[in-house]
Structure 1
Amino acid sequence: MFTIPLDDHAQLSSLEPWQAPEFLAHIDRARPLVDPWIPWTSLTTDLASARSTLQRYADLSSSDSGRIYGIWLGGVLVGGVMFTRFDTSSGVCEIGCWLEQAGQGRGLVTRACRALIDWAFTRRGMSRVEWWVASGNTRSIASARRLGMTRDGVLRQRYPYRGLRHDSEVWSVLAQEWPPAEAPAAPEPAPTSGDQAEIDRLMGLFMASFTNTGGRRPDLEIIRELFVPEGRIISNTGNNPVIMDLDAFVEPRQKMLTDGTLTEFSEWEVSQRTEIFGSVAHRFTEYRKSGVRNGEHFEGHGHKTTQFLRTPAGWRMSSMAWDDEPTRLPE
């Protein structure tokens, strides 16, 4: 059995039918978080069904058409990643992930998925890795973004779940877009403390607040909670910086994202570097964005620099400045 270290305390390893008791105990802990998104969790309710789930993936592995791996933290199974589909004839595979609460905030899923994607491209010669996700699964969508994937589109009302039909988003990364293992484009060092995890959380909430894909309503009001009241946000994309307080930043963007001017919009980090010095911190981010503006699809990218302060209420953003590359319209 192989083992790949994910950080000083976590490992990625194969998950096999003989581990069904441990797998079932883990799924029982994880069920409240993953049951809406991972189909087999609602069917894995006892030892026999847990063994059946793992046996199905063992059969897929033997036919080279799927695989499942576990993530162990401190010797306890806390999540996993999988090839739900692995089609060597087409050169296309699909990966998925899940995680219980005890494993969150450490970047474990991102690093585990990178290991799988790198293996698919560099060892197996795959051309495309896909990520299928329910439109409401914001954590999974954030993972796709951190992996540098591109959102290809939304399949509306693709599948039923508990009496309602749900949209699916399809994300992907291509072999020519994937960096070699020795020089990843989106490095994510293992957090060394809760400070890193909290700063990651703040930035994730900021980026997600703009999202209005799949009928989701953006919530820019949360930005007032992420920043100190005196916070400043600066656009430096033209000849002169535009310096805004929170009201000047939030209100026009909330309007634009809800009145039909800007639809199917999302923005996500591609790479980041965070430095923490006692009670202050800085994060340099490369990001991408896509959407439909006045009926025209567009894609863009740029860089942000964000400053953080540790306050009595916890970490808060104090300022942010960004510079966009020229927007790319479809040909």
Structure 2
Amino acid sequence: MYKAMIDKDTYISILEPRHAEELYHVIDANRENIGEWLSFPMKTNNVEDSKIFIEKSLKRLSENNGYWAGIWHENSIAGSIGYLFMDWSARKTEIGYWLGKDYVGKGLATLACKQLIDHSFNDLRLRKVEINVATKNCKSKAIPERLGFMQEGIIRNYEYLNGEYHDRVIYGLLKEDWEQENINNLGENETWTK
């Protein structure tokens, strides 16, 4: 199935049922730190829950409405990234992501996001990509900010998690902004084409 190389040690690939056990173990080992900002670890109690999640993701893929991929680093699942939906009439999507604590700070989520953004604009011909992040999740907010997204607003009390309400900041990136960002970041010997 789909596999995209990020660097010699890292790639993303569509999650398949055969990945359920490894995915579950990463979630289980990182339940506390992932669960600080996301609710799914509390709902993932065994390998079967991960298998059901993967099967739902593959169904969404078959319906052309998004999917989740694993982020592999040095042959182990480091986390996951995906398109939460596809709004084909507005030609936009939202990207979600998470990493296990041993993989944070290596740039993996940023590189994986970049891969999905490129795919969104160049292959899927979308016009906009969004990323929504808890306002207090500074590490996760740094990713869209690093990639040139614009803060478009804050949804107050978006989610009740771990005994408190969390606001969400909405980041948006338009195709023309991404193209301009890529032009501005070209090295002397690089070329860029649309």
What does residue 70 of structure 2 align with? 70
TM norm structure 1:
0.53
What does residue 49 of structure 1 align with? 49
1-structure distance, mates of 2:12, 2:100 = 15
What does residue 131 of structure 2 align with? 131
Kept in 2: contact 1:17–1:58 (CA 8 A): no
2-structure distance, mates of 1:170, 1:82 = 17
Q: Which runs of structure 2 are paired with 1:18-57 in the superposition (5 Å)?
A: 18-57=18-57
2-structure distance, mates of 1:18, 1:150 = 37
2-structure distance, mates of 1:24, 1:109 = 19
Kindly provide the amino acid, as one letter, of the partner of residue 98 in structure 2.
W
CA pair 28-178 structure 1, distance change in 2 beyond 3 A? same
1-structure distance, mates of 2:162, 2:12 = 32
2-structure distance, mates of 1:16, 1:186 = 35
What does residue 161 of structure 1 align with? 161
1:53: Cα distance to partner?
1.2
2-structure distance, mates of 1:13, 1:117 = 15
Secondary structure of 2:64 counterpart: coil
More helix by share: 2
Kindly provide the amino acid, as one letter, of the partner of residue 54 in structure 1.
I
What does residue 115 of structure 1 align with? 115
- CA offsets, 1:74-94, max 9 Å, x none? 111111211112111221100
1:185: Cα distance to partner?
4.5
2-structure distance, mates of 1:108, 1:186 = 19
Kept in 1: contact 2:91–2:127 (CA 8 A): yes
1-structure distance, mates of 2:82, 2:125 = 18
Secondary structure of 1:109 counterpart: helix
2-structure distance, mates of 1:61, 1:180 = 30
What does residue 11 of structure 2 align with? 11
2-structure distance, mates of 1:114, 1:186 = 13
Kept in 1: contact 2:83–2:93 (CA 8 A): yes
Q: Which runs of structure 2 are paired with 1:187-226 in the superposition (5 Å)?
A: none
User: What's the % identity of the aligned pairs?
Assistant: 28
Larger radius of gyration: 1
1:72: Cα distance to partner?
1.1
CA pair 180-45 structure 1, distance change in 2 beyond 3 A? farther
2-structure distance, mates of 1:91, 1:53 = 25
TM norm structure 2:
0.88
More strand by share: 1
Kindly provide the amino acid, as one letter, of the partner of residue 124 in structure 2.
R
1-structure distance, mates of 2:14, 2:162 = 31
CA pair 65-48 structure 1, distance change in 2 beyond 3 A? same
1:38: Cα distance to partner?
2.5
Q: Which runs of structure 2 are paired with 1:69-88 in the superposition (5 Å)?
A: 69-88=69-88
2-structure distance, mates of 1:106, 1:81 = 15
- CA offsets, 1:113-154, max 9 Å, x none? 111111111111111101111111111100111111011011
CA pair 51-180 structure 1, distance change in 2 beyond 3 A? farther
Task: Kindly tell me the number of residue pairs found equivalent between the two proteins.
Answer: 186
What 5-or-longer segments of structure 1 have no aligned partner? 188-331
Q: Which runs of structure 2 are paired with 1:158-307 in the superposition (5 Å)?
A: 158-179=158-179, 183=182, 185=184
1-structure distance, mates of 2:34, 2:183 = 29
1-structure distance, mates of 2:90, 2:17 = 29
2-structure distance, mates of 1:46, 1:102 = 21
1:155: Cα distance to partner?
1.1
Kindly provide the amino acid, as one letter, of the partner of residue 138 in structure 1.
C
CA pair 184-118 structure 1, distance change in 2 beyond 3 A? farther
What 5-or-longer segments of structure 2 have no aligned partner? 187-194
